[in-house]
Amino acid sequence: MALPYASSTAGQAREREIRTILRGVGASAVGFMVDDDADQIIAQFRLHGREITIPIRVGAYQAAWLRENPHTKRMKSTEEEYQAKARQQAENAAWAIMADWIKAQAAMIAAGFLDTDAAFLPHIALPDGRRTIDAITGGDRPLLPPPQT
């Protein structure tokens, strides 16, 4: 199977779409951050009293794209130019994936299939600031066993 979103082009232009979708289900305080140090795009918002943080690792997509589309010596671009192309495609894909995932979660909420907690549970901030998924899977005694490979 081809890597999904490998030809996405809208990139950060999807930010407005995400904001509109979230506001449509009652979200407020919607914001976005590009954290180059952590190699992430982060969406944060408040929905029905819950603080939600959704990080998307751009470098993870870039690595997947490069595995599927390795640079070869026959290419006219240098390795550095090709890395830059892969990075741009990864950023475009990350915004598209985030937009589509949030749109799907919002549709599930609007249809009554899920409530806010079920739709965004892994990303809801706990009183200590950690995301729920980090509290469940991290630390000395994780609540979930590691996934089977």
Q: Decide if 3 is inside a domain.
A: no
Q: What is the pLDDT of residues 59-99, one digit of tens each?
A: 999 999 999 999 988 888 899 999 999 999 999 999 999 99
Q: Decide if 84 is inside a domain.
A: yes
Q: Decide if 141 is inside a domain.
A: no
pTM recorded for the entire structure: 0.89
Cβ–Cβ < 8 Å for 17, 43: no
From first to last of the 149 residues of the chain, give the pLDDT tens digit: 689 999 999 888 899 999 999 999 999 999 999 999 999 999 999 999 999 999 999 999 999 999 999 998 888 889 999 999 999 999 999 999 999 999 999 999 999 999 999 999 999 999 999 999 999 998 788 888 888 88
Q: Identify which of 47, 57, 58, 53 has the alpha carbon closest to the alpha carbon of residue 130.
A: 53
Q: Which residues contact 85 (CB under 8 A, 6 or more apart)?
A: 77
Q: Decide if 98 is inside a domain.
A: yes
Q: Which residues constitute the domain of residue 95?
A: 11-136
Dihedral, CA of residue 140, residue 53, residue 104 and residue 2, to nearest 10: -70
pLDDT of residue 11: 86
Cα R_g (the chain), whole angstroms: 17
Q: Decide if 85 is inside a domain.
A: yes
Q: Decide if 4 is inside a domain.
A: no
Q: Decide if 65 is inside a domain.
A: yes
Could you tell me the end-to-end alpha-carbon distance of the chain, in angstroms, rounded to an integer? 20
Q: Decide if 28 is inside a domain.
A: yes
- Give the number of domains in the chain: 1
